[in-house]
Structure 1
């Protein structure tokens, strides 16, 4: 297996609207730290696979397609191009109408074109690659983040690290964390990769490797109940709290080499979902009648987002992009959505003899995959497109598909 890596800046060169928080409507140009597109190129038996991690909130299907088609021109199989975002809320809008469907505060066409060009530049910078050994380490993180709907609720706090060594020397590392990277709040108007950018810089310094950041099942996981503030100083405090626990990782060699990808995308009936959204809309309006001003603003946000989902759900089915990626005997479940942490725990528990992790926010983001036991009047339940119980069906589907994938691979 050959590996190469390259990253390029995707910090905008002109003022931009930042994405992620409603009401932050000013153009922003000040930069706290640069944004990057990281590209990991893997070559196995003359097949090329390309993994991307972008310091952005999300990508819409049209922009995602443009990015993939640009890389296909270089002879890469379309199905081998794997793109994800970190979900920073301090990066520019990438959608023409913005994440809140407001054409007055969306992305400029120039920035979208710039992103496509930079994706290509990252690919071109990778080079031929070197033969590597692959190793794996896991570390549980305490005291820095957790289930944001309650500290007592379940949370997968394992950070998984995949290291690539050339001639016994570490050169690249994937860091997988199932947590929103949002320390900086809505009052922040500086461009930033936020927590994942800080972790990337710290891990690069700690281990003297280039670092590829990968989110996990972060749908209901953040530092909300652990942070003391939402400013730059708190960003550094949270970064130090996490990276101090990652400073002495013990890696084990992944014995089998080889890489394989399988598409197992999942369909949800939009007619059923729209019926549930109509009921949810009535519930939000009911709650607004008895809410104080602060609660009413939050509910209004949820109502606006719900109505945007209703307008956009025109196809018979909603597709949750889902793929299985194996690197040796390590298995990554690529989820094109913000999956709740309970499902990560469930999926990993189904494979005690294998190394399994969730790679979330891949391809176009289908929204929240909410666990049934947390479905209710909370933020994620208001914003999800999917009816109660659909997340459990999806998790079982992934488990069954992954079992089949592992069986087929072990027969080879």
Structure 2
């Protein structure tokens, strides 16, 4: 079964064609910096490795570009769209409607649209991917895999907010959690590496960021909540902020609610602190003496440390921390900032190991460290393909 995996992020599209159940990747690639003049596109097969820099204005344009490559006579890996039996879509927010992987129909699409306001940077992009895929692959089964599903094991004492009970029972306001396919995948890989079912903290650092406490392979607490907006500092999202700031901005400073929402979702985080949302640029400017970028990196790491401390308490111990996603896998500097002065928890980084590059799992702690520090490349696409295949098979 050939499955196309479409993982539309807030400013990126990752994609793969995977032959299941043998997990053979026929092609892979991504587009990042969507909406900028210098968007990057990569496309890789066994015999071709293409990289382009071009302007990609939105997700629809990006998806069409990807399909053109898949069907190209010289570099394509399929002859017809009918070669594809299923499309697996990563969908960020499933709300209370979806706790499992589902085949997409009009009702499912309607529910995904209803959740736009809870994940305005993601669900619209996910929905766009579904609509375009339906047009381009009319014979394929369209399947949604929800980021929120992995976190259904979070206990009530952790997912319930201290607000009137009716808001949970009637309006379903609670912690849902996100990046579930990534946290699930890297936790599984880390447990295999450690050769035991462990107490693990997985740290997903990309344009969106989150951290999860995992015990016996199950999510028991998580930094993102009702929407993918709180918790850690992100590319354009603020993370945790005192909620009274919102009322002050509206009632005293004259902001509208839409303006506040836009500010916290799209103008805050690292962008608001530095003027840049891309970590590569921020680290380069920090290295060259930009004090705002230096402080923003320290703030980012400090917030992660606070969550690690609280999750060690929740887990009553710690066997490993896991760095993953674009920043977690590639930024030795951010890993160093997070692990500094964490000896109390047994977290001691080996600087030389930390500077290494690998596409496989890396152990970057000192040899006799009590707590393992792992870098585990995430593969949400493989995890999505497995779930799609299990559902359809």
TM-score, L = length of structure 1: 0.24
TM-score, L = length of structure 2: 0.25
Q: Which of the two has greater helix per residue?
A: 2
Q: Which of the two has greater strand per residue?
A: 1
| Greater RCO, 1 or 2 (C-alpha within 8 Å, sep 6+) | 1
